């Protein structure tokens, strides 16, 4: 399986992002996501596409009884292990498509900005539902369908190079997109908001919350954030397995 995060050039660029250098406080959506998280005390937590493991560390430091982070990238997981110090976190190298835990293995499943890399959202949602306890929570962020629809993930510019608007095209055509992220070609998947919500409900989740996060005042002072109020980039969802 193609894995961009183990590509040296891409990995080095990703490692220089604000969110990679500073962790959760460097992530524009963190304030909104943090508000959606439960009390981790005594909980069994799974993080799908854990990357550098920031969310695993957060759960472990906030009392989680067990934390497992899964990611496809050796480079990301090696860095996660380095950043996790003496915390009791299991990092597992595996594609999300192959994750398979018995029923009632976890109380909380997290996933931060990884699900737009998987072809079948519905299959992942069913897997998560299966491995959660009754009433367990699935809290995740993914790129917003408005952000993924067109493909290249860039603004339209005028002749002077100024941003005109964000293109939304091919919205109802779900499937792979060749996006450009950090100047590199990356394979992502677009799906509609209807599919996201319906797949969750079909699997047996109820939706507790849905947020299209906006950068806070501090983040808006960063030059790369000035246009982030013109269109949503991410979608945050908190869902609960119906008891």
Ligand X SMILES: C[S@@+](CC[C@H](N)C(=O)[O-])C[C@H]1O[C@@H](n2cnc3c(N)ncnc32)[C@H](O)[C@@H]1O
> Using CB under 6 A, which residues numbered 116 to 145 contact ligand X?
117-118
Contacts with ligand X, 6-45, as mask; x by CB under 6 A: ----------------------------------------
Residue 167 DSSP class: -
Nearest Cα neighbor of 79 from 1, 3, 188, 5 is 5
Nearest Cα neighbor of 46 from 151, 139, 116 is 139
Q: How many alpha carbons fall within 13 Å on the CB side of residue 8?
A: 0
Residue 3 DSSP class: -
Minimum distance of ligand X from residue 165's CB (angstroms): 25
19: enclosing H helix or E strand:
helix 18-22
| Piece in contact with ligand X (CB under 6 A), picked from 91-99, 163-171, 211-219, 222-230 | 91-99
Q: Choose, by CB under 6 A, the member of 71, 107, 143, 199 that binds ligand X.
A: 71
Q: Alpha-carbon distance 223 to 230, whole Å?
A: 14
Residue 153 DSSP class: -
Q: How many alpha carbons fall within 13 Å on the CB side of residue 230?
A: 13
Q: Choose, by CB under 6 A, the member of 45, 73, 199, 215 that binds ligand X.
A: 73
* SS3 call for 242: coil
- Closer to ligand X by CB, 84 or 112: give it: 112
Total residues in contact with ligand X, by rule CB under 6 A: 18
Minimum distance of ligand X from residue 118's CB (angstroms): 5
Minimum distance of ligand X from residue 18's CB (angstroms): 11
Q: Choose, by CB under 6 A, the member of 38, 62, 65, 95 that binds ligand X.
A: 95
| Piece in contact with ligand X (CB under 6 A), picked from 49-57, 151-159, 163-171, 206-214 | 49-57
Site residues, ligand X (CB under 6 A) = 5, 49-52, 54, 71-73, 76, 95-97, 112-114, 117-118
């Amino acid at each position: 399986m193609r894995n961009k995060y183990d590509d040296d050039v891409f990995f080095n660029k990703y490692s220089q992002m604000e969110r990679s250098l500073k962790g959760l406080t460097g992530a524009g959506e963190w304030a909104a996501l943090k508000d959606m998280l439960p009390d981790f005390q005594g909980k069994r937590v799974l993080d799908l596409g854990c990357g550098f493991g920031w969310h695993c560390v957060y759960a472990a430091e906030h009392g989680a009884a067990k934390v497992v982070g899964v990611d496809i990238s050796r480079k990301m997981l090696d860095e996660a292990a380095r950043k996790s110090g003496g915390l009791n976190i299991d990092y597992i190298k595996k594609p999300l498509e192959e994750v398979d835990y018995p029923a009632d293995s976890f109380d909380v499943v997290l996933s931060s900005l990884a699900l737009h890399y998987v072809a079948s959202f519905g299959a992942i949602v069913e897997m998560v539902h299966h491995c959660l306890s009754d009433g367990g929570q699935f809290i995740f962020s993914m790129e917003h369908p408005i952000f993924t629809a067109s493909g290249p993930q860039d603004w339209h510019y005028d002749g002077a190079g100024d941003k005109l608007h964000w293109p939304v095209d091919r919205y109802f055509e779900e499937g792979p997109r060749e996006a450009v992220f950090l100047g590199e070609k990356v394979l992502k998947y677009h799906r509609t908001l209807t599919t996201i919500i319906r797949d969750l409900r079909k699997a047996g989740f109820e939706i507790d919350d849905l947020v299209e996060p906006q950068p806070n005042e501090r983040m808006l002072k960063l030059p790369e954030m000035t246009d982030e109020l013109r269109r949503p980039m991410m979608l945050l969802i908190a869902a609960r397995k119906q008891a």
